[in-house]
Amino acid sequence: MFELTETQQMLRDMAHDFAANEMRPVAAHYDQTMEYPWPVIEKAHELGLMNPHVPEEYGGMGLGCLDECLVSEELAWGCTGIRTAMEANGLALAPVILGATDALKKKYAGRLIEEPLMAAYALTEPDAGSDVANMRSTAVKKGDKYILNGSKMWITNAGVANWYFVVAYTDKDKRHKGMTAFIVEREWDGVEPGKKEINLGQRCSDTRAVTFHDVEIPAENVVGEEGMGWLLAMKAFDHTRPTISAGAVGLARAAFEHARQYATERKTMGRPIASHQAIAFMIADMFKDIEAARLLAWKAAALKDRGERNTLYASCSKVFAADACHRICTDAVQIFGGYGYNTEYPVEKLLRDSKIFQIYEGTSQIQRLIIARELFDRV
Ligand SMILES: Cc1cc2nc3c(=O)[nH]c(=O)nc-3n(C[C@H](O)[C@H](O)[C@H](O)COP(=O)(O)OP(=O)(O)OC[C@H]3O[C@@H](n4cnc5c(N)ncnc54)[C@H](O)[C@@H]3O)c2cc1C
């Protein structure tokens, strides 16, 4: 578990070079313009850095969760706005790979491998984020089709997706067991993405509402079986939470590197600020938390790759990495003093980008809820 294979080291190096050469130089541009980073995505696709966990039989590289963590950390070190745009495909694909028919996987995962196309995972609604059961979207069966109505909110890639993984009620009385998952194509009648949301950070990532008005979905586009939507949507997080945790580690590492460097250059009271214990201890804390967060993410990922249940560790790693990342970015701004608060210096973007890790894919409060449930309900 502590030794990476030669292939894993090469993969990590390739992702690092990509982040250094293709992401870092344009990160501020995409933050300021909020443009979608298509040119970066196209290059990443060419190199095989997009959709890395699509199995080989569908044209992908079939990488494991730990492999994906290595890529995710480096890409996030480059720019988490661009990384989120890229890796939202992984979130949309995860439940499809888990539960879809062979034909659906070939069609929809295959498409993303062939071309630099995007996908989106659409679970959240205006009144249903942490409280998934409160969702209002419905899909009513009519012959060999389902008719989908409802609105999703805060959906990453909603404006650029070629297809959406969507969860809706097919039987509200059954609560979680009455939810069904579908693949819905962007071009189908009745699919309407909303305006681009202007977020605090990760501003080039495309976040929008998306509305479905009487959208006709062929029955073969059900992912898994009727009633499996909630389970698939949640199981997907067992794969994606370790990788998102690794993303938080990459961002924290970037903030740490900037802060450590600055602390050796900036002088007050006649000496570098790194020699003031208050600053040195902040940097020491950053380092230890980054190392611990990485190990937790790798543990959650390694369990997944071994086929073991990893829900407990996936949530532990997500909350630990997200909280550490936000704290580290806040401290990095502190170490830069007034310069840290300014857009000419790199750390204010990192602080803005860091907040979302405590919110998307389940808030830090919800991760603690899951951890507590795993500790108490399963004993
Ligand atoms: C930029 C961005 C991108 C996103 N991308 C996607 C995406 O691609 N697909 C998708 O489906 N969703 C996406 N989301 C939605 C995201 O997952 C939700 O915002 C998140 O789950 C929180 O839901 P909420 O916003 O409804 O907050 P709420 O659920 O209303 O929570 C509000 C606050 O209450 C706390 N809280 C709620 N319930 C409890 C409880 N039982 N115990 C303790 N505290 C609680 C929360 O932790 C939070 O602090 C995205 C959100 C953002 C902002």
pLDDT tens-place string over residues 248-281: 999 999 999 999 999 999 999 999 999 999 999 9
Mean pLDDT of 351-375: 98
Question: From the CB of 134, is ligand 1 less than 6 Å away?
Answer: no
Helical segments of the chain, H only = 6-18, 24-33, 38-47, 65-78, 80-99, 102-104, 110-114, 229-265, 277-305, 311-336, 347-354, 364-377
379 pLDDT higher than 90 = no
What pLDDT is stored for residue 296 in this prediction?
98
Which residue has its alpha carbon closest to ligand 1 atom 7?
Answer: 155
| Whole-number Å distance between alpha carbons of 87 and 57 | 21
What pLDDT is stored for residue 1 in this prediction?
56
Q: Does the active-site annotation cover 348?
A: no
Mean pLDDT of 105-124: 97
pLDDT tens-place string over residues 283-315: 999 999 999 999 999 999 999 999 999 999 999
187 pLDDT higher than 60 = yes
What pLDDT is stored for residue 2 in this prediction?
73
Token pair recorded at residue 270: 């006649």
The CA–CA distances, whole Å, from 129 to 126, 133, 203, 235 equal: 7, 9, 21, 16
Question: From the CB of 360, is ligand 1 less than 6 Å away?
Answer: yes
The secondary structure of 28-59 as a DSSP string is HHHHHH----HHHHHHHHHHT-SSTTS-GGGT
378 pLDDT higher than 80 = no
Do 104 and 277 contact (CB within 8 A), yes or no? no
Question: From the CB of 138, is ligand 1 less than 6 Å away?
Answer: no
Do 283 and 259 contact (CB within 8 A), yes or no? yes
pLDDT tens-place string over residues 201-242: 999 999 999 999 999 999 999 999 999 999 999 999 999 999
Token pair recorded at residue 366: 């919800």
Q: How far is the CA of 367 from the centre of ligand 1 (A)?
A: 11
Question: From the CB of 366, is ligand 1 less than 6 Å away?
Answer: yes
14 pLDDT higher than 60 = yes
Share of residues in the chain with pLDDT > 90 (%): 98
Question: From the CB of 130, is ligand 1 less than 6 Å away?
Answer: yes
**Of the listed 68, 87, 125, 361, which one is catalytic?**
361
Mean pLDDT of 61-74: 97
pLDDT tens-place string over residues 29-49: 999 999 999 999 999 999 999
Cβ neighbours of residue 356 under 8 Å, at least 6 residues apart? 84, 199, 200, 201, 202
Can you tell me which atom of ligand 1 is nearest the CA of 364?
A: 47
Mean pLDDT of 6-21: 98
Token pair recorded at residue 312: 């407990």
Q: How far is the CA of 335 from the centre of ligand 1 (A)?
A: 30
What pLDDT is stored for residue 19 in this prediction?
98
Q: How far is the CA of 133 from the centre of ligand 1 (A)?
A: 13
Share of residues in the chain with pLDDT > 70 (%): 99
Do 99 and 39 contact (CB within 8 A), yes or no? no
Q: How confident is the model at residue 160 (pLDDT cuts 50, 70, 90)?
A: very high
Question: Which of 144, 137, 109, 110 lies closest to 123 in space, CA to CA?
Answer: 137
| Whole-number Å distance between alpha carbons of 26 and 79 | 9
Question: From the CB of 369, is ligand 1 less than 6 Å away?
Answer: yes
Question: Which of 197, 187, 243, 223 lies closest to 361 in space, CA to CA?
Answer: 243
What pLDDT is stored for residue 377 in this prediction?
83
Q: How far is the CA of 127 from the centre of ligand 1 (A)?
A: 10
Phi, psi at 367, each rounded to 5°: -60, -40
